[in-house]
Amino acid sequence: MTISEAERGAMRRALALAATPGVPLGPNPRVGCVLLAPDGTTIAEGFHRGAGTAHAEAAALAEAGEAARGATAVVTLEPCNHTGRTGPCSEALIAAGVRRVVYAQPDANPLAVGGAGRLREAGVEVVGGEMIDAAQAINRAWTFAIARRRPFVTWKFATTLDGRSAAADGTSRWVSSRAARLDTHRLRSLCDTMLVGTHTVEVDDPELTVRDEVDQPLAVQPLRAVMGLRDLAADRRVLNDRADTVHLRTRDPEEALARLHALDRQHVFLEGGPTLAKAFLAAGLVDEVVAYVAPMLLGSGTSAVANLGIQTIADALHLHVTDVTVLQGHDGEDTNVRLTMRPDQRRN
């Protein structure tokens, strides 16, 4: 079944609505919806504003009122067929008299799946898969977490050209430039969890909050997760009231991710030291790598990752480079390299 140019344009608009700045990144997917009249003109728009609020379709239907009868709903995600904090979007569309639904991404959530089938049962025309790649990109972490039943893991580290994260005396402030640190905060804000080990908390005492260019914490903060068996001193900054914190008393990366998944966490920003990085890499539980490479040499000091047990070049972990950016500031420059792990070197 083909779609019209008006529907394609409406899907582009729905994707833009789904990506509206300020919408929480989880636990619900970001969704946009546009309602079209039979002549292809826009009747109403809506987008999901976060868990507990109206879904995109419901928001658009509320704006349209009776004008929704006979309309086409263009939506970035298959309408849900589930009653949770809000009712099923499939039933809302049927009740409103919508005659046709065009959606981009199928809903893989086992709790919500089946909306397209329910719509067809009620006699509504349904077309799926339009601009699916763009829709999946908006909800990359949500899509991954639903399919894999664990959060997507981004490992971030700062290093010198010779792979050192700290000097021989333990000093590491600052390996990276201010521009790199600001970029780190930008990436933190795109995740729902920041994860470090107990050793990092003990030695570095990080606050693990997202801050702006004048070093002020933002209003909405990711969860701070600390992994490890040892107790945390009560005066550690990660335990202050600027964000929620969970202590994952385990050394097993798989168990830690399972616990975070149970908390509806979908994207973990791994910022721990070399030992924690080794544990996740060895377990095949790193999906993306963000490296800030400073133009300096130390020759000795702490490596960015602990010994992985690799003895020969044939066993090296190979990554795909997806982006390279030079970050410049008044105190120096860094090269930001983004990479993904090869499918054969990470666990599904």
Contact 113, 107 (CB under 8 A): yes
**CA 182 – CA 165 distance, rounded (Å):** 18
Count of beta carbons in the 10 Å neighbourhood of residue 235 = 8
Among all residues, which ones are annotated catalytic?
A: 57
**CA 17 – CA 20 distance, rounded (Å):** 5
Contact 18, 55 (CB under 8 A): no
**CA 340 – CA 320 distance, rounded (Å):** 5
Contact 345, 318 (CB under 8 A): yes
Q: Which residues contact 225 (CB under 8 A, 6 or more apart)?
A: 193, 194, 195, 196, 245, 246, 247, 248, 256, 260, 268
Contact 59, 46 (CB under 8 A): yes
**CA 77 – CA 143 distance, rounded (Å):** 11
Cis peptide before 27 (omega within 30 of 0): yes
